[in-house]
Amino acid sequence: MNNKEILLNSTSFIVSETDEMGIIRYANDEFCDVSEYTLEELIGQPHNLLRHKDMPKSTFEDLWKTIQEGKIWKGFVKNRTKNDNFYWVYSTVYPLTLSDGSKGYMSCRKVASRNEIEKATKLYSTMK
């Protein structure tokens, strides 16, 4: 198991889109690069494929409750890569409706600072 941290740079912008059930229907190139998955491997998979074991379930319960109410969720997330590495992001998730009427969620992520990661790590360790 590698379990090495993948560091994002200051211009990193990771984007994905899911349907209402959390199934990935779009991921940008940077998402694929950082997650170590190809686009073909991601499309049709549940977004929780990337969930890291260190993340408390209550964080994702809050995320789902918030976006299903039509609100925007923001928070720090530790994700797992295909090769069991990990990366931290500051994530913004919001509901959307496409032109064909289908609903889903868009997630945009950027780099989290070391200080933010340390605070999130401490907080999440108390929630497990």
CATH number at residue 19: 3.30.450.20
Q: Note the pTM of the prediction, 2 decimals.
A: 0.92
Q: Is residue 39 part of a domain?
A: yes
Distance in angstroms (rounded) separating the CA atoms of residues 34 and 87: 8
Helices 57-68 and 114-127 pack at an angle, to 10 degrees, of 100
Report the candidate in 88, 77, 95 with the shortest Cα–Cα distance to residue 17: 95
Q: Is residue 7 part of a domain?
A: no
Per-residue pLDDT reduced to its tens digit, 12-52: 999 999 999 999 999 999 999 999 999 999 999 999 999 99
**Count of domains forming the chain:** 1
Q: Is residue 1 part of a domain?
A: no
| Tokens representing residue 95 in the block | 């509901």
Per-residue pLDDT reduced to its tens digit, 79-118: 999 999 999 999 999 999 988 999 999 999 999 999 999 9
Q: Residue 20 is part of which domain span?
A: 14-127
